[in-house]
Amino acid sequence: MSRPDEPATHRAFIAIGANLGDREATIGAALDALSRTPGTKVLRKSSLMENEAVGGPEGSPPFLNGAIAIATSLEPRDLLARLLEIERSLGRERHQKWSPRTIDLDLLLYDDLVLRTDELTIPHPLMHERDFVLVPLAEIAPDVLHPLLRVPIGTLAKRVQRDPDIHCSSCGYNLRGLPVNGHCPECGKSIKETLEELAELDPAAHEQLRRAGLIALAALAGCAVDGVLFVMDAVALAERTLQDSGKPISARSVCAAVRARARDYFNDDAEAIELLNEWGVRSSEDVGRIVFAAVRAGRLTASPGDRESDFAGLFTLDTLFS
C-alpha cells in the first residue's frame, strides 16, 4: 500500500455525475475535496454536459456529467474508498441503484490496470457503452487506450454516439450498446426478448437494434463493424469449405478463409490491405479476438479451436497477401 506522502505517480480517470440540487456547486465541492486528498492532484477537467437520466425512475432530473484526470499516489482500493467518502460527505446515499443522486464519482481507468474484484472493476465495466462517460472522457483523453479493448477513448466515443437508444420493454432502461445476448442490468429481462417484441411492433427499429448489437460486438473486439461482418463471413466460408470433409473449423482454416474471402471481396491486394487495416483486422490475433467476441456474445455457434491463442502468429496483412 502506498503512503500519501509518496509522489503522485499513478494516472487515473474519474467520471463525475450529479442530478440533484445545485449540480455545478456539488461537482465543484467534489473536485475541491479530491484535490485536498493527500498525494492527489487534479490534472485535467472536461467540460460538463447535460444528459437525460438513464434508466432512473420516471421524471428523474437530468444529469450533469464530466470527467477528470488525476495523478495520485493512492492504490486503487484506497482511491475508491476516498471517492466513496467524498460522495458520502456530499450527501449521496448509495441505497437505490439509478436513483437520483447528489454526486456520483466512478473510477474509470487506473494506469493500464485491468482488475476485477468484488468491490472494484477497472476499467469501469460499462464505460465503453455510455456516451455520458465517453464523450467527456474523450475531451481530456482522446488517445488513451482502453486497456481491455485496446481502442482509443476518442474512437469509442464516436462509435457509441452512433448507436441508437433501445429501451427495455419492461422497465424502460436504456440498453444502448449492450450485447444482444445479455440481460437488462436494471430488471434482468433478456435483451433478446425486448428485441423480439420490437420486431413485431416496429420492424425498422428492430433492424436498427440488430445493427446496434453488431456495434457492441465491434466495440468488444476493438474493430469496425465492417471488420466484424467480414470475419463472420470468413467463418461461414470456412464452415462451408470443410462441410464435406466433416472436419471442424480451426484457427488455421478461418485464416485461410480470410485470405480467400479478401481476394474475392476486394479489387486487389493493396485495397484489401488498406481496408482491413482500417477496419482493425490487421493480423490473425485480430481475427481471433473478433471470432471469440462473437462466440461469447452468442453470435457464433461454431468455435474454431478452443482457445483464442490458437490464432496467435498465423498472419499479418503483409504475410497474408505475399
Shortest reach from residue 117's CB to Zn ion, in Å = 26
- Is 110:76 a contact under the CB 8 Å cutoff? yes
- For the question of residue 162 being annotated catalytic, the response is no
Give the whole-angstrom CA distance, residue 287 versus residue 291.
6
Among 114, 187, 201, 312, binds Zn ion (CB under 5 A): 187
Q: In Å, what is the CA distance from 186 to each residue of 99, 155, 167, 171, 311? A: 11, 27, 11, 8, 36
Q: Which is nearer to Zn ion, 189 or 259 (CB)?
A: 189
Residue 64 identity? L
DSSP 128: G
Catalytic residue among 101, 130, 159, 176: 101
Helix (H, G, I), strand (E, B) or coil at 230: helix
**Span interacting with Zn ion, options 9-17, 89-97, 121-129, 187-195, rule CB under 5 A:** 187-195
Instruction: Answer whether the bond into residue 123 is a cis peptide, omega within 30°.
Output: yes
Q: Which is nearer to Zn ion, 126 or 171 (CB)?
A: 171
Q: Which is nearer to Zn ion, 98 or 266 (CB)?
A: 98
- Is 315:276 a contact under the CB 8 Å cutoff? no
Among 16, 153, 184, 228, binds Zn ion (CB under 5 A): 184
- For the question of residue 104 being annotated catalytic, the response is yes
Residue 130 identity? R
Q: Which is nearer to Zn ion, 169 or 284 (CB)?
A: 169
Shortest reach from residue 170's CB to Zn ion, in Å = 5
Among 104, 129, 139, 186, binds Zn ion (CB under 5 A): 186
Active-site positions? Answer: 92, 101, 104, 106
List contacts with Zn ion (CB under 5 A): 168, 171, 173, 184, 186-187, 189
